Chain A
Amino acid sequence: MASLFSRREGSAHAEIEERRSATHESFLSHRAYFWARVSGFLSLFVVLTYVLVDVEPRHNGGSWYGYTLGTVGAGLIVWLSWLGVRKRRPTPGSWSLKGWTSAHVYLGMSLVVIGTMHTGFQLGWNVHTLAWVLMMLVILSGAYGITVYATLPQALSENRREMTREQMIESLATIDRQLEAAAQPLARKDADMVIATLEQDVFAAGIIARFRGPGGRDATRRALDHISTDRAYDDDADDLAQQKVRALLGKRAAQIDQIRRQMQIKALLEVWLYIHVPLTIALLAALTAHVVSVFYYW
């Protein structure tokens, strides 16, 4: 199809075009699952050799085979941790963070096999097993990360409805201003409910509330319930003002829900990093201790 408008291009410019138009693939399917294939073959190779190579008296980290796996594993761990630096340093060069993430994800998974085979299933209460446990926890938290990265962005996009964070906050402030003006004609008790709504600190919620998301009971919903359902308002003289306040309270509740949902999804997308990164640092420390102690007690 592209033949229609294809123009024969000068090679220099074709190259620029090539470089610029990053192919539209996710980090998981990057380069047609290149790193998944590398990681798969590596794991398979390790499992096969583990079974086929006869180590006397039995598989353990101290055999030549164990040392080999240990070196590969430790190298991988250090390289995988380097993603944290790579990500924050946009130096020139034709690297792609997507490629790095892809390799990080798949090679990180292969560590389950490499690390475990390296132990030879000799686990105990010592610094060596601590390093293995930390590694498994890091990989586990990473697996959670892959899952949310693959599933949540769409929900984040849909909830945002083209609004930025600032716009959401601004929208809430606008509704509050309009609510204040609209509530002036209300009866004392109704007005108090609205004032309670306006005084409510929407963001003083804490970590638990961040994960709970929208739909919680708060002053806005209480006011909405009070003003909309507690009375027969057909014969109410102030009905017009009430309707306006009711509509605004409804808008406010919806706006708060959108903000809370946004915070919830962002929290779900980010929370694992608060485990993944500190555990990685702990892992690097434990790994160092493991390597030093192995050579010290040689």
Chain B
Amino acid sequence: MSHVLLEKTDHLSDTIYKYQKGKHVMATPSSLVLRSDLGFEAGKREAILDTWDRQIADGKVTVRLNAEVTGIAGQSGAFALTLKDGSTIDAEAVVLAIGTQGNPNLLKLPGAELPHVQYQLDDPTAYVDEHITVIGSGDAGIENALGLAADAAQGNIVTILNRGTEFARAKGANVKLLEEAEADGRIFVRRETSPLEVREREIVLETRDGQQAIRCDRIIARTGSQPPRAFIEGCGVEFTSADRAAFPKLSPSFETTQAGIHVIGALAGYPLIKHCMNQGYDVIEFLDGNTGLKPADEPILAEKFAGLPGRHTVDEWLEIFRTRVIILQELSPLQMRELMLDSTVHAYARGEVIFTRNEPGSSMFAIAEGSVLVEVDPDDPSVTVPIETGSIFGEVGLISGRKRGSTIRAAEPTVVVEFSRLAALKLLATAPSANRAVNRISIERQVLQIFGAGLTPADIADLVEEAEVVSVPAGEVVIEEGAEDKDIYIVRVGSMVVEKDLGGKPVFLSYLPAGSYFGEMAVIDGSKRSASVRAAIKSEVIRFPGEAFNALLDAKPEIRERALADMASRREINDFIESRKASFGGAVDMYSQTAQFLVDNGLGEATDVLLIDEQLCVGCDNCEKACADSHDGLSRLDREAGRTYAHLHVPTSCRHCEHPHCMADCPPNAIHRGPDGEVVIDETCIGCGNCQRNCPYGVIRMDAKPPAKPGLLSWLLFGAGPGPGEASYAWRKRKAAEAGESAKLAIKCDMCSGIEGGPACVRACPTGAAIRVSPERFLTVARLEEEVD
């Protein structure tokens, strides 16, 4: 086949080339067979690059380096590719495997095209005696500015601009170095400043106090990068949506909407190396006329579907799922395959339990055949509500991140598809109709679940119709004490705190996790709002108009009774605080402030968090040592680091968030929620470090598992080895050099999952300072009573 491999840089495999030297590259998913003729197995960066370079040379692949494509024109069979150096290449078909990197955001200002504006800094020592302005408050910008100002002898005057006042997007360590450099006068940091115009030797700035021009010989703009979407759309390729994260629309043979142009790899939505290599192989086979080729994932899907009744082929099953399940109807066959790779299918006999109430779980299910029954009343399993073929269930766990609300059984022989959390979220993001359907169903179910037995979907149809999902930024007030509004809310995502104003100070009343409702008092008895409710973290609430709710209560007196009973207990809290206020004013303040401190430190989205009472902690670090000795010799918590308020310390340790930030972008989908609600990283981790960067609490570390230590008694008696706890870095490094190094992988607290007795940090605390708590148990007024008594 006549071909040419075009490469922008002067070497092949640029992404891996740019990896840090000696980095261990993983080859996942391990179940996927490699089809490509190029070899690939897990190993060091150098070995992989070597193999590829050698095999490319042996295979007589036509390669053209330093050939950046700036445009593709023409139609299938007659494309013309323009290169940066002006030459053109004719092609019948084009395969884009360009990934999503290397396309910096350009400045959009007058003068941005001037030659002294650059978007990259290769060598900070190359510039002397210049006035340099760095635009961008992320890590790249800060690191560039620090590099340029590092050696005073270079005589550069470096200014960094920040639109806001904080460097929130950058790593703490970088911000600290920048602030030091500012204190030393090595770098000028201009906050609340944005660039207006670039001129020769000058830049005009918009500051808080008006416009200002400063001298500037060079501008380094580091304002992030985008997938090269404009370029691809320029070739006539359509994307699935306008969303930033959208991918090009593709056929099963990876062909885009522009016939003849194919997209594979990260740009097609497959960030793993092995996927991309297989797709490259497939595309070339298709182009070569091998149209009967089955996708590489065929055997994986065949195995997944093997346990299902009825002898259907993989394609038949995919078609069954797509046509029967409402939320899948929009998907293309390629999307179906991808979705099914991250999903599982199950067949259940009549009466079999699919999941039970209070089980942790964040996956969503769809019924492809048969139907299921939901046990809505926890005390009486015979009270059930059916869900029919084509519908979904389990969506509450997916949306709220909380435990399952009810037990679900198969009503007849049933086939269900279980979408993992990631697959389900991807589906909702790419298929708007699926998103709408799930939203409506979830609102309906949440209402049914909260108001309990005796309601049917028909009863609440009007209420659901008028419901509205509102997103609430952290700290925003949803209900204001004393206000006259009458709406009712359900917390759908995130959590709320309830506060009452006493003597000018907000007093913390309670914490409302996702799934709770609030605002019903004012509707039922027509009073003013008795307390304020505001979002503890970024949340979503469902708002129902009070009238619609009242109409429901009028029609169903037993629901009114339940609501009144609930109201009584909330009233009790109010009265309790009011009555005690006089006798322990100071304690109430203290309690409110402590609660606020904990919410600020991530308890609002936590499911289980380690706290240390510093009135008891003697600093022996036995918690860290026990953690290390229970988990491969590495501690997953840092006792000393973290914030403290009123002797309550929140150490650097996983909070097991309801919606874990770490799960957001895990290429091998290795982060899961375990049976006890713990968030764990499994052995398919490829060590990419995304989770570490995404965690706002800094609780994930990247480290290699150290070799085993000598036993405790040989240390105790003969001083062999480093002793209990995490071995020093020097010891680990020395031993690893002897035993052969292993890859650095992400490690984090798994709540000692699978270890009898539970978390070792708490069990190993000699004084009782370390405790693990869940926020709804900890943030209650009951604590106030305990503290005072």
Contact = CB atoms under 8 A, between A and B. Distances in A.
Interface of A: 1-5, 7-10, 13, 16-17, 19-27, 30, 84-85, 87-90, 92-98, 100-101, 149, 152-154, 156-157, 160, 162, 164-165, 174, 177-178, 181, 266, 269
A101 B512 CA distance: 37
Interface string B746-789: 00000100011111101111111111111011001110010000
5 contacts: A1-B781, A17-B774, A22-B762, A88-B625, A157-B614
A98 B766 CA distance: 4
Interface stretch (B41-49, B86-94, B228-236, B351-359): B351-359
Contact of A154 (B615, B626, B757): B615
A181 B185 CA distance: 10
Top 6 A-B pairs ranked by shortest CB distance?
Answer: A157-B614, A90-B626, A164-B640, A92-B756, A88-B724, A94-B757
Interface in B542-601: 566, 569-570, 572-573, 576
Contacts of A174: 180
Given A20-B762, A154-B615, 16 more contacts: A1-B573, A1-B781, A3-B569, A4-B510, A4-B569, A10-B356, A20-B759, A88-B625, A92-B755, A97-B622, A97-B764, A153-B614, A153-B767, A156-B618, A162-B644, A164-B641
Contact of B772 (A22, A25, A26, A157): A22
B39 interface: no
A16 B629 CA distance: 22
A17 B676 CA distance: 9
B323 to A, nearest CB: 36
B780 A1 contact: yes
B470 interface: no
Contacts of A21: 771-774, 777
B573 A4 contact: yes
Contacts of B566: 4
Contacts of B184: 177-178, 181
Given A17-B774, A177-B184, A94 B614 contact: no
Contacts of A23: 771
Nearest to B724: A88
Interface string B354-395: 001111000000000000000000110000000000000000
A19 B630 CA distance: 18
B773 A2 contact: no
B534 interface: no
Given A20-B759, A98-B766, A89 B712 contact: yes
Contact of B764 (A4, A7, A90): A90
A1 B758 contact: no
A288 B758 CA distance: 38
Nearest to B407: A10
B183 A96 contact: no
Nearest to A154: B615
B54 interface: no
B613 A2 contact: no
A95 B206 CA distance: 63
A20 to B, nearest CB: 5
Contacts of A92: 755-757
Contacts of A165: 640
A26 B767 CA distance: 6
B758 A94 contact: yes
Interface residues of B, number: 74
B694 interface: no
Given A22-B768, A156-B614, A5 B724 contact: no
A144 B766 CA distance: 16
Contacts of A27: 616, 766-768
A13 B614 contact: no
A96 B626 CA distance: 12
A101 B767 contact: yes
A22 B623 CA distance: 14
Contacts of B292: none
Contacts of A2: 777, 780, 782
B782 to A, nearest CB: 5
B757 A24 contact: no
B740 interface: no
B79 to A, nearest CB: 57
A177 B627 CA distance: 37
B358 A9 contact: yes
A174 B180 CA distance: 8
A162 B641 CA distance: 7
A8 B379 contact: yes
Contacts of A101: 766-767
Contact of A266 (B576, B619, B625, B642): B619
B765 A97 contact: yes
B670 interface: no
B291 to A, nearest CB: 52
A27 B769 CA distance: 9
B495 to A, nearest CB: 11
A153 B615 contact: yes
Contacts of A87: 622, 764, 766
B180 A90 contact: no
Given A24-B771, A27-B768, A90-B760, A157 B615 contact: yes
B510 A90 contact: no
A30 B781 contact: no
Contacts of A162: 642-644
A152 B627 CA distance: 25
B404 to A, nearest CB: 9
Contacts of A95: 757, 763
B766 A25 contact: no
Given A1-B780, A164-B641, A269 B573 contact: no
A174 B757 CA distance: 44
B3 interface: no
A10 B763 CA distance: 24
A97 B617 contact: no
B614 A1 contact: no
Interface string B670-702: 000000100000000000000000000000000
A55 to B, nearest CB: 39
B615 A19 contact: no
Nearest to B767: A27
B358 A10 contact: yes
Residue from A1, A2, A16, A87 with most neighbouring chain B CB atoms (10 Å): A1
Given A1-B780, A157-B617, A181-B184, A20 B716 contact: no
A100 B616 CA distance: 16
Contacts of A10: 356-359
Given A27-B766, A89-B712, A97-B764, A152 B403 contact: no
A20 B758 contact: yes
B672 to A, nearest CB: 17
Nearest to A89: B712
Nearest to A11: B358
Contacts of A5: 510, 512-513, 516, 776, 780
A21 B758 CA distance: 10
Contacts of A3: 569
A6 to B, nearest CB: 9
B614 A154 contact: yes
A25 B768 contact: yes
Interface in B720-743: 723-724
B614 A26 contact: no
B573 A19 contact: no
A120 to B, nearest CB: 35
Given A89-B712, A152-B618, A269-B619, A98 B767 contact: yes
A24 B767 CA distance: 10
B282 interface: no
Nearest to B185: A181
Contacts of B378: 8
B608 interface: yes
B421 interface: no
Contacts of B625: 88, 90
Nearest to B649: A157
Given A85-B712, A178-B183, A157 B644 contact: yes
A149 B622 CA distance: 15
